[in-house]
Amino acid sequence: MSAVITPDTVALRSWLPGFVALGAIWGSSFLFIKVGISELHPVHVTLGRVGAGALTLLVVLAVLRDRLPRDPVLWLHTAVLAAVGVALPFTLFGYGEQRVSSMLAGIWNATTPLLVLPLAVLVFRTERMTARRAAGLGLGFAGVLVVLGVWRGLGGAEFTGQLMCLAAAACYGVSIPYQRRFLAGRAESGLAISVAQLLMATAQLAIAAPLIAGAPPVPTRLSAEVVASVLALGALGTGLAFVINMRNIRLAGASTASMVTYVIPVFAVLIGVLALGEHLAWYQPVGAAIVLAGVAVSQGLFSGRRRRPVAPPAVAPDRWQVRRHRSRRSWRPRPPVRAEPRARVTNRSAHV
Per-residue pLDDT reduced to its tens digit, 81-138: 999 999 999 999 999 999 999 999 999 999 998 888 888 888 888 788 899 999 999 9
Distances (CA, A) of 211 to 80, 164, 197, 283: 20, 21, 22, 39
Sign of the CA dihedral running 300, 304, 310, 311: positive
- Mean of per-residue pLDDT scores for the chain: 84
Contact 135, 201 (CB under 8 A): no
| DSSP letter (8 states) at residue 254 | H
Model confidence band, residue 216 (pLDDT cutoffs 50, 70, 90): confident
Sign of the CA dihedral running 142, 264, 268, 201: negative
What are phi and psi for residue 269, nearest 5 degrees?
-70, -45
Average pLDDT over residues 51-80: 95
Model confidence band, residue 25 (pLDDT cutoffs 50, 70, 90): very high
pLDDT at 107 (0 to 100)? 94
Distances (CA, A) of 41 to 236, 256, 268: 21, 36, 22
**E runs forming strands in the chain:** none
pLDDT at 154 (0 to 100)? 74
Q: Which residue has the higher pLDDT, 3 or 135?
A: 135
Return the amino acid letter for 114: L
pLDDT at 301 (0 to 100)? 78
pLDDT at 336 (0 to 100)? 55
Average pLDDT over residues 221-235: 95
Per-residue pLDDT reduced to its tens digit, 144-191: 999 988 888 777 889 999 999 999 999 998 998 898 889 888 889 989
Per-residue pLDDT reduced to its tens digit, 135-153: 999 999 999 999 988 888 7
- pLDDT at residue 309 is higher than 50: no
